[in-house]
Chain A
Amino acid sequence: MGNRLAIVWALLVLAVGVHQVRFWRSARLETDILALLPEDEQAPEVGAATRKLADESGRQLVLLVGAPDWESAQRAAEAATEALSKAGAPLEPARVDATALDAAVEFYRPYRDRLLTPAQRAWLARATSEELGGTALMKLYQPAGPRLTDWSDDPLGLWPDWWAARAAENEARPRDGRLWLSGEGREWVLLTWQSQVSAFALGDDAKVTAAVERARAAVAAIPGGRLVAAGVPLYAEAAASQASREISTIGLGSLVAVLLLVWLTFRSLRPIVLVGVSLMIGCAVALSVTALLFDRVHLLTLVFGASLVGVAEDYGFHYFAARQGKPAAERGRVMRFLLPGMLLALLTSVVAYLALGLAPFPGLRQMAVFAAAGLVGAFLTVLCWFPTFDLGDLPVTAFAERVSASLLRWPRITSEKRWWPAMAGLLVVIAGGLWRLETRDDIRQLQGAPANLLEDQRELGRLLGLPSPAQLFLVEGGDEEQVLQREVPLKQRLDALVADGVLTGYRAVSDWLPPASQQRADAELSARAEQQAVAAVAAATGEEPSRARFANDVLTPARFLSSPAAPAIRQQWLGPLGSKQYSVLMLRGLEGPAVLARLAEAAHGLEGVRWVDKTEEISRLMGRYRRLMGGLIVAGYLAVLVMLLARFKREAWRAWVPSALGTLLTLAFFGWVGEPLQLFTVLGLLLLLGMGVDYGIFLLEHPGDGSAWVAVALAGVSTLLSFGLLGLSATPALRTFGLAMLLGEVAIWILTPCFRMPPGKDIT
């Protein structure tokens, strides 16, 4: 029976091994912090919009190279370009292609007459025929100037203005064959590069970052030179190297600690090897199951998963602690004796982990699945393999005996009067802490990005006037034309805000592709005005110039989207999602959160227009889930109590109260030190519920059994180590999670034996 189980499990482990090899070859690891962000089930199109905006820039690297004057800025740009193109960097320059602009101009040419700026529209409507004629004459006689067409194609010179308005959506301007901008005391050259590898491929050793640093050094050699860089590849590499650092400190740190504890307790190689094997298999199973259920495994899942070591070793500890000092022949019986308690402990832990996955955070779901699968894997290894491979004797060591004996000296809370003041004191501490507890639901907890990257990103955004990816308007319509039409009144309101200085500008699809109704109206307006202008010029020159002919039909979305003009704005055209069509209107030059309320107001009363403040939305979502998960903890404690009652009847409280007290003490501690309560703290407490009860279960299952206490003591110390190390993580979310787990574990671990059964009593 035991052997057959071992063989079945061996086959499964083999399958996992094969899968692991394939997984690490294809390296489907995700480092994108955005992948951790929640899907908002109330507004999937908002999520789709943000994803689309993010996808477009996945490989892009934007650099500004600045110097006090244009000459040295150009030299600095050359130095940076040389450094970036050196062999070894997986980068290529994304050319700002002049032919692309030519192609866009050619594409628009037949529709030139219906592309007007609001100012032109107003002028053409009110100008007298004298004024129109005069302007046309001036443009005709002007020595030379920037023109895009023959005079007769654009007698009033409207088109360059329209292009200038499009160009104004971006601060950079062509100058001497480069893209130039001026600001913050420097002249800057804009360079755009592209990573040749996906930002999410593993094992490229931060090559992009290294190349950018080389370029930074080269630029710094020029007096007053400065390089500012931003891009998803840099974030991805920073996240990857941080994660791999943390995986090794947390994972290896707790593994070494666990194995050391095993050695101290058992003084034998067999437990070390077997516990080590159970941990490795647990991790491999966790990774394989996660990879099978999700397309990509997030690096933070691995960081979090590294702390799994501290929990998954419990089963092995229990087995060996119970097995110590017993003849080898009895190991099957030991396993059967332990099984009910271990199963119940596994069940509570797995349920707690899976409850993490109720939050709509893709990253959390992965972590939940990863942890639950890992625990099951480690448990099954202990169950199926330990009795088969653990053949020799295992004498009781002096260390284990000392630990085991310490249980007898551990204080035990009774209803005696001397415990009342202590209890009252504890309650005051808890109540006071809870009273002071604050909450915070800030998206910044998710960002573990290095400060210098964020600073560069901000400076770049300021200089370039880049549109904000977090605040935007989402425009919805029954068809494409309706979407474009609905942008028009919104733009009018925004124009007023631009005039007030609330923002510097915006980018809207309908500026590149006006609604058909507007195209028809503008074509009519410009035809009337230009005919008057041409007639005036004919009268003045005695010649017979004629106005050019333009396309008869309107410019349709289908034709626009497949044109060379579309890339400039395509990311903002979401197209159909469900039965509706969507576009995004992006804002430039938002200074501080104070103006957001006025922008939100701009959408009021406009049908199909929605203000999206992603930062605020995610924070609100995190707040909502913090409360939901908080409720879930209360419900979870009740459910666990029911489970415990079913097994332990009137003594169930002994396993339950320490966990509840530990949780409250952790909350109180956060309150006293002023650490705010966040979603991730709550998630840590949820997990605590699943694992903390384990200790109580084992002590109740085997009352007065020193070996159970040895196992609990070992489990407590190793869990403490692994979550303590998680508390060192540079990702704020993981740190607060680790801290909550650490405090709670310590409290529960100390409290549990205090609630053990009086000697001589038994639950059965």
Chain B
Amino acid sequence: MKRLLALACVLLCTTASASELLTGVRSRLADPSILRGQFEQKKTVAGFKKPLLSRGEFLLSRGKGLLWDTRAPFASTLTLTRKSLSAEQKTGGAAYHLDASREPALAAMNEFLFALLSGDVGSLSTRFRIEGELVGADGWRLTLTPTDEGLARVFRGIRLEGDRFVRQVQLEETSGDSSLIQFTQLAQTPPPSATETERLGK
């Protein structure tokens, strides 16, 4: 019982300071309904000596989904919506598709990625212990440690950095693999094209 009380105290204390941090971050972030830009991903995978580099562009549409189109080293598209996840390689015919109505874990993953890329700290704080600091006049840096059992199976921790937008995401997986993703040329325009809208509607 004493230990429980102590634990409750610790939790309450961190919440107090954490909430200050979160308010700060939230006030610095823009809250765009769409966000597009370039990404560069550096992924370290067991069995590969050099990091795996990939580059491309993305479109995040709040409430709709994410388009993650890799341009190099090969062209492939990844479409993540509330209903499904599908991936396709332009050459070779490789493709796969997952349906969220059968696999709710996908819906959760979807929600999580939205929150991550748009810096939705309020939603992230329900599944992560958040620590961090405000940097300079408009920057911030956060370290996320999963409290949710499902996420803890996949991620050891996540680091986010940004200002008005999320500029960098570092994913540390429990397997030891890690990905560092940097975003550039972030913009809130132009609105999704007809093809993009169609892909997001899937």
Which residues of chain A have a CB within 8 Å of any CB of chain B?
98, 128, 130-135, 137-138, 140-147, 149-152, 157, 164, 168, 173-177, 180, 182, 540-541, 543, 545-546
Extra inter-chain contacts (12) besides given A98-B149, A152-B46, A177-B149, CB under 8 Å? A130-B92, A131-B93, A131-B94, A134-B91, A140-B52, A143-B179, A147-B175, A150-B46, A174-B149, A177-B150, A543-B49, A546-B47
The smallest beta-carbon distance between A183 and chain B, in angstroms, is: 12
CB distance A151 to B47 under 8 Å? Answer: yes
Cα separation A543 to B103 with both chains bound (whole Å): 34
The smallest beta-carbon distance between B15 and chain A, in angstroms, is: 18
CB distance A174 to B105 under 8 Å? Answer: yes
CB distance A134 to B154 under 8 Å? Answer: no
Query: Which partner residue on chain B sits nearest A123 by CB separation?
Result: B96
Cα separation A131 to B173 with both chains bound (whole Å): 27
- Within B76-94, which residues are at the interface with A (CB < 8 Å)? 76, 78, 87, 89, 91-94
Which residues of the other chain, A, contact B11 by a CB distance below 8 angstroms? none
Q: Which of B21-29, B66-74, B134-142 contacts A (4 or more CB under 8 A)?
A: B66-74
What per-residue 1/0 map shows which CB atoms of B154-191 lie under 8 Å from chain A?
A: 11000000000000000101011101010000000000
Which residues of chain B have a CB within 8 Å of any CB of chain A?
41, 43, 45-50, 52, 54, 68, 70, 73-74, 76, 78, 87, 89, 91-96, 102-105, 108-109, 127, 148-150, 153-155, 171, 173, 175-177, 179, 181
Query: Which partner residue on chain A sits nearest B53 by CB separation?
Result: A141
Query: Which partner residue on chain B sits nearest A182 by CB separation?
Result: B104
Which residues of the other chain, A, contact B74 by a CB distance below 8 angstroms? 134, 137, 540
The smallest beta-carbon distance between A433 and chain B, in angstroms, is: 58
CB distance A145 to B46 under 8 Å? Answer: no
The smallest beta-carbon distance between B21 and chain A, in angstroms, is: 23
The A interface, classified by DSSP as helix, strand, loop or mixed, is mixed
The smallest beta-carbon distance between A341 and chain B, in angstroms, is: 76
Cα separation A157 to B87 with both chains bound (whole Å): 13
The smallest beta-carbon distance between B53 and chain A, in angstroms, is: 9
CB distance B179 to A144 under 8 Å? Answer: yes
CB distance A134 to B45 under 8 Å? Answer: no
Query: Which partner residue on chain A sits nearest B73 by CB separation?
Result: A540
Cα separation A133 to B92 with both chains bound (whole Å): 8
Which residues of the other chain, A, contact B173 by a CB distance below 8 angstroms? 144, 147
Cα separation A174 to B105 with both chains bound (whole Å): 7
Query: Which partner residue on chain B sits nearest A141 by CB separation?
Result: B54
Query: Which partner residue on chain A sits nearest B150 by CB separation?
Result: A174
- 9 smallest A-B Cβ distances: which pairs? A134-B94, A134-B92, A130-B92, A135-B94, A134-B89, A152-B47, A173-B104, A545-B47, A150-B46
CB distance A141 to B76 under 8 Å? Answer: yes
Which residues of the other chain, B, contact A150 by a CB distance below 8 angstroms? 45-47, 175-177
Q: Which of A128, A132, A141, A540 has the most CB of B within 10 A?
A: A141
With contact pairs A138-B87, A175-B108 given, residues A143 and B181 touching in the complex (Cβ less than 8 Å): yes
The smallest beta-carbon distance between B44 and chain A, in angstroms, is: 11
Cα separation A543 to B44 with both chains bound (whole Å): 13
A141 interface neighbour in B46, B70, B103, B175, Cβ under 8 Å: B70
The smallest beta-carbon distance between B95 and chain A, in angstroms, is: 8
Which residues of the other chain, A, contact B179 by a CB distance below 8 angstroms? 143-144
Query: Which partner residue on chain B sits nearest A536 by CB separation?
Result: B92
Which residues of the other chain, B, contact A149 by a CB distance below 8 angstroms? 175
B93 interface neighbour in A134, A176, A182, Cβ under 8 Å: A134
The smallest beta-carbon distance between B94 and chain A, in angstroms, is: 3
CB distance A168 to B148 under 8 Å? Answer: no
Which residues of the other chain, B, contact A142 by a CB distance below 8 angstroms? 78, 87
Which residues of the other chain, B, contact A174 by a CB distance below 8 angstroms? 105, 149-150
Cα separation A137 to B88 with both chains bound (whole Å): 11
The smallest beta-carbon distance between A139 and chain B, in angstroms, is: 8
Query: Which partner residue on chain A sits nearest B90 by CB separation?
Result: A134
The smallest beta-carbon distance between A106 and chain B, in angstroms, is: 13
Cα separation A146 to B44 with both chains bound (whole Å): 17
CB distance A541 to B150 under 8 Å? Answer: no
Cα separation A390 to B149 with both chains bound (whole Å): 79
Cα separation A588 to B24 with both chains bound (whole Å): 52
With contact pairs A175-B104, A541-B48 given, residues A147 and B87 touching in the complex (Cβ less than 8 Å): no
The smallest beta-carbon distance between A294 and chain B, in angstroms, is: 48
